[in-house]
Structure 1
Amino acid sequence: MEKTNIILDGKSLTIEDVDKVARRGAQVEISQEAMAKVEKARAFVFEMINSDTPVYGFNRGVGLNKDRQVVDRYYEEYNRSLILSHCVAVDPAASEEDVRAILLARLNTLLLGYTGIQPAIVTMYKDFLNHNIHPVIPERGSIGEGDITCLSHIGLAMIGEGDVYYKGFKIPAAEALEKAGLKPIVLGPKDGLAIVSSNALAAGPGAVVLKDVEDLIDMADIVYALTMEGFKGNVTPLDPSLYPIRPLPGQAVSAEGVRKYLEGSYLWLPGVSESLQDPLSLRGASQVHGSVRDALEYVKKYMDIQLNTTEDNPCVLVDEKRMIACSNYEVTTWVLGFEMLGIALSHLSRIACHRTIKLATPKFTGLSRFLTPADGRVIAYGTIQKTFTSLDTEIRHLSNPATADYFSVAGEIEDHANNSPFVVRKTAKIIDNLYYILGIEAMHAAQAIDLRKATRLGKGTKVAYEMIRSEIPFLDEDRNLSIDIKKAYNIIKSKKMLQAVKEAVNKE
């Protein structure tokens, strides 16, 4: 569990914070200033209770029912019905990590004071996180534009209905609230819509995905550097003089990282490489990896805005004494960024596959066919290409844009959508496939290094090689490679190799 509490104020939540709360169980606190904004907005809502001014989701219905009046004595009944009627999502349920990210993303946007939600609900979001009460949220059913069909299940748990995971066990929400010493929420004006109408289903897990992409690019650079040593690659494309004259930021970062990982490697010795130019998958890896970095920076910029600004409709403007309809829930800008990121990752995947194929091809490496230690007796990596290329095929199709596929719904009044939750989920699947692909490339690189009897490895690649060999021995006889693949996948996914290599290269 993360020991340091994260103080939320509605305007300074980072992607790293989301990762800490979602994956490491960090606790959260709410700043007094932020809670004061919530209370001020709630007071204004009660000022508006007897107003004749129609307000969407407050004294009028939602969606096509925006013409239906809601009178004050029915606020609790109406908001409860709103929660229940929006519980229409389907399995699978979101993971507990994702639920924590979802709760956090919505809690932070509530703290800006533009919602008018009752403070007790805001506190309940915090309590759910800190008491490890995680509502069971079916993750399919939202088309974006506010994840109302899924986030309604959070409201269900808050009123003591539905199921939750409490400290790892699935139990009824009412029982979990009682065990944690909490009381079910009694809903009031505007509460139902404030709970369901948010993009947190996509934004919370999306922030975690971006953290994974950030780490994945660094791991891809490390594996590429290891491949260069197994391949006996030409290092001239890494020359630092090349990058200022074509100042694309991402490729410069990747090239600098690879140079650090290869510091002290035999590759830098004069006359080592016999190749004037290597295949593009090796020669241009820093450039392609850099393209992923550039795409990531775009998405991170807009995800930061998403996590730290209001997304509510209607928007409560306390200082102006107004509550007005708007489209602040629109997230197409950063959803398009995720689509771009998926395409960029498909390029990273494809060149990793090509590098792996080249490592097993004697005419490029001068090593044995399929990196066998005994040609004619040991098949070695003769069949494994089918596995990583099939994973790349999945990535290629997952990279196809999905944000443009939507219907006109709710009596044809809701005629735009962006499919943000699905776009985020398919990006996460791309990343998971890449853990396998990079793991398999690392297996090939280590085998090639051994066959080449290369002992003078780089400061970073030596650590990476040793970590692989600590789990996966040299392939001297044919064996069940599915076991090796899973081990390699775990090495990459756990980020242990990333951490160890970075510690090694950053030592003075």
Structure 2
Amino acid sequence: MHASDDLPPVTLDGTPLRVADLVALADRRARVSVPSHALETVERSHRTLLAARDSGIVYGANTGVGANRGISVVDDAVELTPEEEHREQAAHGRRLLRSHASGIGEIEDDRVTRAALVVRLNQLLAGGSGISPGVVHGLLAAVRSDSLPTLHRTGSIGTGDLTALAEVALTLIGEFPWRSGGVAPVDFAETDSLPFMSSSAVTLATTALAADVAARQLDAATVVAALSFRALRGSSEAFDAQVHAARPHPGQVREAARLRWLTESVTGDPLPVARLQDPFGLRASPQVHAPARTALGVLLDALDRELGGPAENPLVVVDGVRHHGQFHLATLAWSLDAARTGLLPVFSLSTSRLGLLMRADMTGLPPFLADARRNATSSGLMIVEYVAQDALAHMRIDATPVTSASISVSLGLEEHASFAIQSTRLLTSLVRSSGAVLAVELFAAVRALQMAPDRVAGTRLLPVFERLVELIDPSTDDRPLGADIARMEAELPMLGAALRDCPA
């Protein structure tokens, strides 16, 4: 009995795979289960592909690929025995894999690689590729044993992760070594090479993992904004239901309700308010957070469609095969661009609140939240603004859209690409930097509330503050602050739990 047998199962059968389930599999918190009917679908699909190849022309099965699509694998002018023809087709398939396994650069990490194998397995189980059942069994064995190939990151343009999947195939065959683990060499049939490579599994895996982080950080951003709001004694009129009902963007109404729920008094005691009208960092949070949530929702909706169902070219259908452009990830790339563009202002606003937390006239506390009673020249948290602004500068670069680019490859016959993989890697980088931005604000808000705990008393934020304040060094002396910021960043994925009972 394997240790993984005790993990909850996630069923793969070619239907849409939930992002949460894919993340759990990538993190080894779940195991894969494949029903027999899905494997039967693969067998039927393979027979259909062979019949279509034997009765006509099928791209990649009996032709070259790309600009070689009009060239037959077997020259009709040359008489070959069936055995010789089979050998020639098998050699073509192997050459296809070897020529395409030409990725370079950095190596994908274990989580992305593991998730990519799961995505590809689920796609193959949908029965649209025509791949032979033996390949599916081999890939399933690799997934179950957590055997990981080496995948290079550079070589995809958003029309299929051909280079990375060629590397997976050659690893399964036994030509490339496994990076970790390993399974018995898999026999690829003569028609299996293109069907196996015809996928954007790495792009989808990377997107799912990054989108999961982004969703958690948006929830955390709401809680952090609420903590800063209380530390700065903000006016709750900015979150009033009547205000947002006057221009009722649905996401904005919900975000205002969340902030109102977190920051309101649950004891009936009045909360301190410092100003008639607050700076934008406090009163515009619903307006800025809502578009980011909307854009991320669109991305997750696109992922729901991409993570289920076949998209191989050619696609095996009931009565044969169809050649198409479903491999083009234009919708996903656009959704990724929109998500990155929408996320950036949320964290830009975070640095605005951070700046307010440094100001004595806004907090009623010492400048830079320093222990000014002990040393009037104390720098306090002065330097953390630099840290946050550095991370935000990287985010601005990572928010640049990619869908406006153009391309022409394969002798000009493939003249467009989505660049979805570039966009999703930018999202991965962006959410990495956004964690640093948010962690710095969170640390500053906790420090301010540590100095004035009455400002959070009687609110639903009190348990959050009490947990966080125990994690930071209680000293307000000038000292290195990196460890405190790192502890706050580690807490970000859990902060969304504070919204669990919120009715909005």
The TM-score, its normalising length taken from structure 1, stands at 0.91
Structure 1: stretches of 5+ with no match in the other structure:
168-175, 178-182
Q: Which residue does the alignment assign to 1:50? A: 54
1:187 deviation in Å? 1.5
Q: Which residue does the alignment assign to 1:496? A: 494
The residue correspondences of 1:183-222 to structure 2 (distance < 5 A) are 183-222=184-223
- Alpha-carbon separation, structure 2, partners of 1:281 and 1:195: 50
Q: Secondary structure at the match of 2:411?
A: coil
Q: Aligned residues, how many?
A: 486
> Are 2:18 and 1:20 equivalent residues in the alignment?
no
1:466 deviation in Å? 2.4
Asked whether the 8 Å contact 2:450–2:469 carries over to 1, the reply is: no
1:265 deviation in Å? 6.3
Q: Which residue does the alignment assign to 2:444? A: 444
Q: 1:132 to 1:460 in 2, by over 3 A?
A: farther
Q: Which residue does the alignment assign to 2:420? A: 420
- Alpha-carbon separation, structure 1, partners of 2:213 and 2:67: 39
> Are 2:105 and 1:91 equivalent residues in the alignment?
yes
Asked whether the 8 Å contact 1:199–1:329 carries over to 2, the reply is: yes
Q: Secondary structure at the match of 1:442?
A: helix
Letter of the 1:200 partner, please give it.
A
Q: 1:332 to 1:475 in 2, by over 3 A?
A: farther
Letter of the 1:237 partner, please give it.
A
1:406 deviation in Å? 4.0
Q: Which residue does the alignment assign to 1:342? A: 340
1:360 deviation in Å? 0.6
1:349 deviation in Å? 1.1
1:120-147 Cα deviation digits (max 9, x unpaired):
1122222211100111111121111011
The residue correspondences of 1:65-80 to structure 2 (distance < 5 A) are 65-71=68-74, 72-73=85-86, 74-80=88-94
Q: Secondary structure at the match of 2:112?
A: helix
Q: Which residue does the alignment assign to 1:180? A: none
The residue correspondences of 1:294-305 to structure 2 (distance < 5 A) are 294-305=294-305
- Alpha-carbon separation, structure 2, partners of 1:121 and 1:435: 40
Q: Which residue does the alignment assign to 1:361? A: 359
> Are 2:73 and 1:59 equivalent residues in the alignment?
no
1:178-208 Cα deviation digits (max 9, x unpaired):
xxxxx31222233111121211111112112
Q: Which residue does the alignment assign to 2:238? A: 237
2:368 to 364, 367, 370: 370
- Alpha-carbon separation, structure 1, partners of 2:256 and 2:215: 15
> Are 2:179 and 1:165 equivalent residues in the alignment?
yes
- Alpha-carbon separation, structure 1, partners of 2:96 and 2:331: 29
Q: Which residue does the alignment assign to 1:173? A: none
Letter of the 1:342 partner, please give it.
R
1:89-125 Cα deviation digits (max 9, x unpaired):
1121111111111112122222221110011112222
1:39 deviation in Å? 0.9
1:332 deviation in Å? 0.7
Q: Which residue does the alignment assign to 1:136? A: 150
1:339-378 Cα deviation digits (max 9, x unpaired):
1111111101100000100111122222221111215142
Letter of the 1:132 partner, please give it.
D
Q: Secondary structure at the match of 2:64?
A: coil
Q: Secondary structure at the match of 1:55?
A: coil
Q: Secondary structure at the match of 2:227?
A: helix
Q: Secondary structure at the match of 1:100?
A: helix
Letter of the 1:96 partner, please give it.
D
Q: Which residue does the alignment assign to 1:39? A: 43
Letter of the 1:346 partner, please give it.
L
- Alpha-carbon separation, structure 2, partners of 1:403 and 1:150: 22
Q: Secondary structure at the match of 2:33?
A: strand
- Alpha-carbon separation, structure 2, partners of 1:420 and 1:271: 47
Asked whether the 8 Å contact 2:13–2:126 carries over to 1, the reply is: yes
Q: Which residue does the alignment assign to 2:289? A: 289
Q: 1:457 to 1:134 in 2, by over 3 A?
A: farther
Q: 1:265 to 1:425 in 2, by over 3 A?
A: farther
1:428 deviation in Å? 1.1
Asked whether the 8 Å contact 1:134–1:165 carries over to 2, the reply is: yes
- Alpha-carbon separation, structure 1, partners of 2:491 and 2:28: 19
- The percentage of aligned residue pairs carrying the same residue is 26
- Alpha-carbon separation, structure 2, partners of 1:154 and 1:290: 40
Q: Which residue does the alignment assign to 1:172? A: none
1:295-333 Cα deviation digits (max 9, x unpaired):
01111111111111221111112x22x222110101111
Asked whether the 8 Å contact 1:491–1:497 carries over to 2, the reply is: yes
Asked whether the 8 Å contact 1:310–1:328 carries over to 2, the reply is: no
Asked whether the 8 Å contact 2:26–2:114 carries over to 1, the reply is: yes
- Alpha-carbon separation, structure 2, partners of 1:270 and 1:455: 10
Asked whether the 8 Å contact 1:75–1:188 carries over to 2, the reply is: no
- Alpha-carbon separation, structure 1, partners of 2:271 and 2:454: 15
1:215-247 Cα deviation digits (max 9, x unpaired):
111100010111111111111122233334433
Asked whether the 8 Å contact 1:250–1:292 carries over to 2, the reply is: no
- Alpha-carbon separation, structure 1, partners of 2:441 and 2:174: 49
- Alpha-carbon separation, structure 2, partners of 1:100 and 1:194: 20
1:263 deviation in Å? 4.6
Letter of the 1:50 partner, please give it.
D
1:475 deviation in Å? 4.3
Q: Secondary structure at the match of 2:368?
A: helix
Letter of the 1:68 partner, please give it.
I
1:29 to 21, 28, 33: 33
Q: Note the aligned Cα RMSD (angstroms).
A: 2.1
The residue correspondences of 1:325-336 to structure 2 (distance < 5 A) are 325-336=323-334
Asked whether the 8 Å contact 1:76–1:189 carries over to 2, the reply is: yes
- Alpha-carbon separation, structure 1, partners of 2:362 and 2:269: 20
Q: Which residue does the alignment assign to 2:117? A: 103
Asked whether the 8 Å contact 1:237–1:283 carries over to 2, the reply is: yes
2:13 to 5, 9, 12: 9
- Alpha-carbon separation, structure 2, partners of 1:262 and 1:27: 40
Q: 1:150 to 1:404 in 2, by over 3 A?
A: farther
Which deviates more, 348-357 or 460-469?
460-469
- Alpha-carbon separation, structure 2, partners of 1:487 and 1:117: 47
Asked whether the 8 Å contact 1:230–1:447 carries over to 2, the reply is: no
- Alpha-carbon separation, structure 1, partners of 2:119 and 2:245: 38
Q: Which residue does the alignment assign to 1:170? A: none
Asked whether the 8 Å contact 1:102–1:200 carries over to 2, the reply is: yes
Q: Which residue does the alignment assign to 2:79? A: none
Q: Secondary structure at the match of 1:6?
A: strand
1:484 deviation in Å? 2.1
Asked whether the 8 Å contact 1:84–1:156 carries over to 2, the reply is: yes
Asked whether the 8 Å contact 1:359–1:448 carries over to 2, the reply is: yes
Letter of the 2:399 partner, please give it.
S
Structure 2: stretches of 5+ with no match in the other structure:
75-84
